[in-house]
Structure 1
Amino acid sequence: MRAFIFIFISALFISGCGAAESDTHNHDGLVIGNHERCHMCGMMVKQYPGPKGSLDLKGNEMQPKFCSTRDMFMFALQPENRRQVEALWVHDMAATDWQHPEDEHFIDATKAWYVYGSNRKAVMGVAVAPFSTLAAAEAFAQQYGGAVFEYDEITLELLSAK
């Protein structure tokens, strides 16, 4: 009987650990191919300067890519899309080149700081420039203008105002 209880409790612990792992999102290996098109506008993602974005959708193997973080947010913040988004990834612009952002510099969009309204343009006009630290975002805003925002402050109203 003790052996049965031990096996039962062990199975509960093991299944609990597995569930926790499946709920995590990982951007390792996130690659934007040279011929991938923006999920929002259809433009070639890598042909243009500025930060790019990608997201994970619930129950979907496809990982939409975006030629700009602005397009990514315009898609992800739509009420019909918002509930389907599991994770969002953006380039850390403090760690990569503005003209050619590199795939190994993706960060969790929900933990990033953003500068919006700067004079650094991206493919779709005004850039939503992401940074992994507040200090980097503030330094960028001081150099190029714009205001610093947290993830939750990026809204459709903000993006539609400019």
Structure 2
Amino acid sequence: MTEEFSIREKRFNRWITIISIAIPLVVVLLFAYKIPNAEPLSFLPPIYASINGLTAVLLIMAVVAIKKGKRELHEKLMTACILLSALFLVMYVAYHMTSETTVFGGEGAIKYVYYFLLLTHIVLSISVVPLVLITYSKAYLGDYTVHRLWAKFTFPIWLYVAISGVVVYLMISPYYPY
């Protein structure tokens, strides 16, 4: 490992740490803030749920692409997944800044399933941020051996977050007030 590589990696790690802490903090702060007299952005939940679904599909396509040796396609698909995840986050926060929280109305066992999925989705969505950034940075720096090791952990967590986001939306959508 060269000194230049080490310096670049340290810079990436510093930014990864900052971003991984800042995103959840900013989301919590913005989630708690309601824009006064704002029109609810009630059209957003099906859009951002669809973005989660598309992200899941593209993640699977990216894995297939790399297994077939199509590295350039893999890189483009993974970049698209990161951009889609960022777009999801912006829409999600915008919706919650303009709308009241919807309460799940299901009863019995389905209520526990919903809250289990929601809780694991939230916890893993927070943890997937640094995982994605570390995995992406390893590829960007050309450290493909370490990139593959990180990707083995990152991929299933990211895929779970994307799919569980769709399932959570489908489960709560009948209870939206709009």
TM-score (structure 1 length as normaliser): 0.29
Structure with the greater alpha carbon radius of gyration = 1
Please state which structure has a larger fraction of its residues in strand: 1
Higher RCO (C-alpha 8 Å, min separation 6): 2
Q: Which has the larger helix fraction?
A: 2
